[in-house]
Structure 1
Amino acid sequence: MEAGLSAGEGADGAAANICCLSYNQDCTSLAVGMKSGYKLFSLCSVDKLDMVHESYEISDVYIVERLFSSSLVVVVSRSKPRQMNVFHFKKGTEICNYNYSANILSIRLNRQRLVVCLEESIYIHNIKDMKLLKTLLDTPRNSSGLCALSINHSNSYLAFPGSSSAGEVLLYDANSLKTECTIPAHDSPLAAIAFNSTGTKLASASEKGTVIRVFSIPEGQKLYEFRRGMKRYVSIGSLLFSTDSQFLCASSNTETVHIFKLEQFPERSEDNSSWTGYVGKMFMAASNYLPAKVSDMMNQDRAFATVRLPFCGQRNACALVTIQKLPRLLVASAGGHLYIYNLDPQDGGECVLIKDRSLIDSGKSETDRGREAEVPAPVSYAASLARPSTASSPSTVAGYSEDGGTLRGELIPEHEFADGPVRLDDEREFPPISLCRGSQKVRDDGP
C-alpha cells in the first residue's frame, strides 16, 4: 500500500481531515493520519472498532506506521516532511527523530529494519538501536516512494523500482545489505508492490493496472498472472496478500476491489473425453500458435471474488484478514469509513458488506478522553533515559542545513540515544498491549 493519501479527498468536511491510512505488518491494527494528529485502531472485532491510541501533538500527519502490536510508532508531518519521529506511545516518550536530505515519501518497518524512502535515495536503519546501516544513493526516481519490506523474522527483503521508465523490481536483502536480483515484472512503470507474510512471494502491478503478477522470492520467477480488467487503465493504490498467502487483493481508483486466489489447477488428463475437456485442450493448443501477448491474455486468471464499493475515485487501503475465525476483507477509505466484508473462501463471488464503521467518530468515550488529557506532554526518550549530553542544538550540528535537511547521504538524530540498543522484546522498553486474535483475547509478547 502507498504510504499517504492526499488530504481533501474525502466525501465531506470531516473526512477531508484524513491524510493517510496504513495497516500494521500483520493487519491487526489500522493507523489513520489526520490534519489534527493520528489515531490507532485495533482490528480484532467486527462488532466494534476499538481505538488503541490517539495523539494531537503533531498535525498534518501524512505518514504513520506502527510496528506490529508494539508501542513503537513512526510519524511524519507535512510541517516537517524531512523529519522522521519515532515514539513510544504507551510511555508518551520520543525515542528519536532524524532529518533527511529530502522529503520522506514512505517508511516501512519489520522486526529487524526500518526503511526510509526518499525520491532518489533509501535509508536502512537497524530498528534495535535506530542506527543507520546503509544508504542507497541515486536510486531510480521514485516520486511516489514505492517500496515494500518483507515482515518474516528470517528475512528482510526490500523491493523498490529498478527503473523509472520500465516495470523493473529491484530486490535487495536488507539483512545482508546486498542486491539479490532485478525482476522484469512489467513493461510500464510500477504502481504497486507487496510481499506475502513469509517473504517468499512478491506481487506487482504497473501504472496500466490491467495485469497483476506474482513472483517467487528470491529467485524472481513468475508464478501467477491475473487480469484485473481490459477496458480501461486504472491506478492501483492497494495490493496485499492474505496472511496465509492464499489470496491477493487489489483496489484502485474505481469502485471495484478484486480478490485473486493463488492456486495451481491440475493438468487435464489425456483420457478426458468430455466436451469440456476437448474444448479445453483445443483452447490451450491454439494459444501456442498465437502472438505472445494474446496467448498470455488467454492464460490469465480472472478475479475469484469482487467487491462493489459504495464510492468511486477515493483512495483506499485494503486488507485480507481473519477476524473471529472468519475471512474478511477490510477497506479503509479516505472518506473516513472502514468497510468490513465477508469473503467466501470456497466459492468466491460478490463479497457481502456486514459493517460500516466511521474512522472519524469512532474511538474512546469522553471519560477516556478526559483521562488522556491529563497525561503530561511527551518527553523525549533521550531526556528520560540517556546520559546528559552537551551536543549542540540541531542548527549548529555539522551537516545540518537551515531548511531542515542534511548534507547528501547524511542524517542527524536530534536527540541522543539511551545507552545500549532499543530492546523491543523488553517489556520495560515496549510494554505489549492486549489485542484480540480471533475470538479470544491474548497478550501479545511481540516486538
Structure 2
Amino acid sequence: MQNFAKNVDVLTQGLKAGISGLMNLASQGSDPNSGVFFVNFNQDCTSLAVGTKTGYRLFSLNSVDHLEQIYENDAEDICIVERLFSSSLVAVVSLSSPRKLKVCHFKKGTEICNYSYSNTILAVKLNRSRLVVCLEESLYIHNIRDMKVLHTIRDTPPNPSGLCTLSVNSDCCYLAYPGSNTIGEVQIFDTINLHAKTMIPAHDSPLAALAFSTSGTKVATASEKGTVIRVFLVNDGTKLYEFRRGVKRCVSISSLAFSIDSNFLCCSSNTETVHVFKLEEPREELRRVPSENQGWMGYLSKAVSASANYLPSQVTTVFSQGRAFATVHLPFQGLRNVCAITVIQKVLRLLVASADGYLYVYNLDPNEGGDCTLLKQHRI
C-alpha cells in the first residue's frame, strides 16, 4: 500500500482539475452492435475511457483530427472503467464479476488491489483524495492513498442507476447523491471531514443527473422529467441559475457537465439535441445602481416585475428561466451518451461519446453560441 500511495503522489502531481462525465451503458439505451458498455471522460477531459464486451480502451483527447489510442486491454468484459486524471491508475469492474473492484496500473499491466462488495457496483468515482464506490443502497468512501475504507453511507434511498458524482477538487471534496427516490433531493456529503453537508431540494421529480463545477462550489441538477436544469451553491443550497432544456415530457437526461472555467454547462439526453447553457453573471453596474437611476431599463424592469404579479406562477417561472446558448444536433436519438466541454488545441470544443461507438467533436463559439458544427467523428 505504501508503493500505491507513492505511485499516486508521483502520477497525480501537477495534474489540473477539470470536468468529468460518465455513462454506464450496460443497462438501457446501449447499442448491441457496437459492443460498448461504458464510456466516460476523465476528470480534466484529457482522455476518454471505453468499456466493451472484450475489454477496455483509453484514448487521448489532445487533437481534433486524430484520436490516439494509448492503451487497450482485452482480458474481460468491462462495464465500468475510471481513470485517475492522466495517470496510469484505473479502476475497473467487469460484467462477469460485478461486485469486485480492481485498481490497476495499466502501463505496468499490474493489479494494485481489489475489493469485493455485498452487491453490484453501479458507479465508481475518483479524485486525488478519494475513491467512491456506489451500490444501490450504500456508498463506500476509500482513501485513495491506501484504499482503506474511511466511511460507509448505508441505507441510502434506492438508487438503481448508481447516480452520484464526486468533485474533482480535493479542497472541496464533496460527494453528491440522491437524498430521496420520490423527489429530487440532493444530498451533499463532505468526504474529507466525513459528514453530511447540505440537503438541496432541487426538483419535484426524482433526480436523473448531477455534476459539480471544477471548483466544487456549484452543483448542477436535472430530474427525471428532464425539462429544467438548475445550478446551486454547494455551501448553502442557494439556487443560482435555472435553465429550460425543453418542454417535451419523458426526456431521459444522459449527462450534465461544466466547462473547466464553469462558464458553460452542457446537457445531453435521449433526444437528438445537446443543449449548452451560459452561466452569465449580472453586470456589475446593474447590481450597484438602484433601478430608478437606470432610465429606460429600470422602467422596463419595474414593468415586467409588476405585470408578473398578475400572471400564474408557472408562467412567470418560464419567463425567468434561461434558454440554451448553443445547441448540437446529433445524428442519432434514443441512445445513451455523455457530453463534455473542453479546450483542445486552445479552442473550445463540445464532445459527445455515444453508445453507437463513436466520439463526436463539435465547434462551440464562446461568444456567438448558436448551432455547433460537427468537426470530426471518431470510432471508439
Match of 1:215 among 232, 237, 243: 232
Larger RCO: 1 or 2 (CA < 8 Å, sep 6+): 1
Correspondence list, 1:18-37, <5 A: 18-37=36-55
Segment of structure 1 superposing worse, 4-13 or 220-229: 4-13
- Mapped contact 1:24–1:30 kept (Cα < 8 A): yes
Match of 2:337 among 308, 312, 316: 316
Which amino acid is the alignment partner of residue 160 of structure 1?
Answer: Y
CA positional deviation for 1:278: 5.5
Segment of structure 1 superposing worse, 258-267 or 290-299: 290-299
1:284-308 deviations in Å (ceiling 9; x for gaps)? 3322343433322110000000001
1:238-281 deviations in Å (ceiling 9; x for gaps)? 1000000000000000000000000134449545665x875554
**Residue 380 of structure 1: aligned partner:** none
Q: 1:54 to 1:307 in 2, by over 3 A?
A: same
1:254 correspondence with 2:271: yes
Separation in 1, partners of 2:117, 2:31: 34
1:192-247 deviations in Å (ceiling 9; x for gaps)? 00001110100000000000000012211100000001133310011000000000
Which amino acid is the alignment partner of residue 305 of structure 1?
Answer: A
Separation in 2, partners of 1:278, 1:257: 36
1:294-323 deviations in Å (ceiling 9; x for gaps)? 322110000000001011111111110000
**Residue 5 of structure 2: aligned partner:** none
**Residue 344 of structure 1: aligned partner:** 365
- Mapped contact 1:203–1:215 kept (Cα < 8 A): yes
Normalized per residue, which structure has more strand?
2
**Residue 5 of structure 1: aligned partner:** 25
Separation in 1, partners of 2:28, 2:282: 45
CA positional deviation for 1:12: 7.1
- Mapped contact 1:10–1:336 kept (Cα < 8 A): no
**Residue 83 of structure 1: aligned partner:** 100
Higher CA-based Rg: 1
1:314-363 deviations in Å (ceiling 9; x for gaps)? 1111110000111000011111111100101011000111111111xxxx
1:399-432 deviations in Å (ceiling 9; x for gaps)? xxxxxxxxxxxxxxxxxxxxxxxxxxxxxxxxxx
Which amino acid is the alignment partner of residue 244 of structure 1?
Answer: D
Separation in 2, partners of 1:106, 1:6: 12
CA positional deviation for 1:8: 8.7
1:364-418 deviations in Å (ceiling 9; x for gaps)? xxxxxxxxxxxxxxxxxxxxxxxxxxxxxxxxxxxxxxxxxxxxxxxxxxxxxxx
Point out where structure 1 has 5 or more consecutive residues left out of the alignment.
360-447
Separation in 2, partners of 1:270, 1:327: 40
1:173 correspondence with 2:194: no
**Residue 290 of structure 1: aligned partner:** 311
**Residue 385 of structure 1: aligned partner:** none
Match of 1:160 among 159, 177, 191: 177
- Mapped contact 1:159–1:169 kept (Cα < 8 A): yes
**Residue 326 of structure 1: aligned partner:** 347
Secondary structure of residue in 1 paired with 2:275: strand
Separation in 2, partners of 1:38, 1:284: 55
**Residue 238 of structure 1: aligned partner:** 255
Separation in 1, partners of 2:351, 2:292: 43
**Residue 134 of structure 1: aligned partner:** 151
Point out where structure 2 has 5 or more consecutive residues left out of the alignment.
1-20
Which amino acid is the alignment partner of residue 259 of structure 1?
Answer: V
1:355 correspondence with 2:373: no
Q: 1:10 to 1:80 in 2, by over 3 A?
A: closer
Which amino acid is the alignment partner of residue 56 of structure 1?
Answer: D
Which amino acid is the alignment partner of residue 353 of structure 1?
Answer: L
Which amino acid is the alignment partner of residue 24 of structure 1?
Answer: N
1:132-167 deviations in Å (ceiling 9; x for gaps)? 101111011111100010011312100000011110
Q: Cα RMSD over matched residues?
A: 1.7
Match of 1:302 among 320, 323, 330: 323
Separation in 1, partners of 2:175, 2:378: 33
**Residue 70 of structure 1: aligned partner:** 87
TM-score with structure 1 length normalisation? Answer: 0.76
Separation in 2, partners of 1:7, 1:180: 31
CA positional deviation for 1:22: 0.7
Separation in 2, partners of 1:201, 1:144: 23
Secondary structure of residue in 1 paired with 2:99: strand
Could you tell me the percent identity over the aligned residues?
60
Secondary structure of residue in 2 paired with 1:218: coil
1:103-142 deviations in Å (ceiling 9; x for gaps)? 0000000000000000000000000000110111101111
1:116 correspondence with 2:137: no
Which amino acid is the alignment partner of residue 128 of structure 1?
Answer: R
Separation in 1, partners of 2:61, 2:309: 47
CA positional deviation for 1:180: 0.4
- Mapped contact 2:135–2:162 kept (Cα < 8 A): yes
- Mapped contact 2:172–2:217 kept (Cα < 8 A): no
Which amino acid is the alignment partner of residue 297 of structure 1?
Answer: V
TM-score with structure 2 length normalisation? Answer: 0.90
Which amino acid is the alignment partner of residue 365 of structure 2?
Answer: D
Count of residues in Structure 1 that have an aligned counterpart in Structure 2: 355
- Mapped contact 2:43–2:85 kept (Cα < 8 A): yes
Secondary structure of residue in 2 paired with 1:80: coil
Which amino acid is the alignment partner of residue 136 of structure 1?
Answer: I
